[in-house]
């Protein structure tokens, strides 16, 4: 049981390049999230999804797009990378609210993707 798997683990991009970060979960979770973590700023929500085919904006969505074509996968895209997007990106997943506060609120995180943009 792998849990939440993020690909790639590290990447260096040049300004203006595009890339896609992949998140896959094998726990049959309905909810999935993308966060970025910068020094001194904690985790900030970029986009999230409450189910297959649905996405919504979080705190800091500008410059990013997402897609959830399959329940187990949540993709984060950078169309034109900027140095301000240098960060550690975490994907997380959780059960839906109908399963109770503990289950729905307990997010399972991937190991993160360390992205540097030059």
Partner 1 sequence: GQNIDQPTEMTATEGAIVQINCTYQTSGFNGLFWYQQHAGEAPTFLSYNVLDGLEEKGRFSSFLSRSKGYSYLLLKELQMKDSASYLCAVSHHIFFNKFYFGSGTKLNVKP
Residues lying near partner 1 in the complex (CB under 8 A) are found at 31, 33, 35, 40-45, 48, 50, 56, 58-59, 90, 94, 96-97, 101-102, 104-112
Q: Which is nearer to partner 1, 87 or 107 (CB)?
A: 107
Q: Which is nearer to partner 1, 9 or 15 (CB)?
A: 9
Q: Which is nearer to partner 1, 17 or 52 (CB)?
A: 52
Least distance in angstroms from the C-beta of 38 to partner 1: 10
Least distance in angstroms from the C-beta of 17 to partner 1: 25
Q: Which is nearer to partner 1, 69 or 101 (CB)?
A: 101
Least distance in angstroms from the C-beta of 111 to partner 1: 5
Give CA–CA dist 55/34, Å, rounded: 11
Least distance in angstroms from the C-beta of 65 to partner 1: 18
97-116 in b/e form (b: 16+ CB < 10 A) is eeeeeeebeebeebebbebe
Q: Are 89 and 35 spatial neighbours (Cβ–Cβ below 8 Å)?
A: yes
């Amino acid at each position: 049981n792998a849990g939440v798997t993020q690909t790639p683990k590290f990447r260096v991009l040049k300004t203006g390049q595009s890339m896609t970060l992949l998140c896959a979960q094998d726990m049959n979770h309905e909810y999935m999230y993308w966060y970025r973590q910068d020094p001194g700023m904690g985790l900030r929500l970029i986009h999230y999804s409450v189910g297959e085919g649905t996405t919504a904006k979080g705190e800091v969505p500008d410059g990013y797009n997402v897609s959830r074509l399959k329940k187990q996968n949540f993709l984060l895209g950078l169309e034109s990378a900027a140095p301000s997007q240098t960060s550690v990106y975490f994907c997380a997943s959780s059960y839906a609210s109908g399963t109770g506060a503990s289950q729905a609120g307990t997010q399972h995180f991937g190991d993160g993707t360390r992205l540097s943009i030059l």
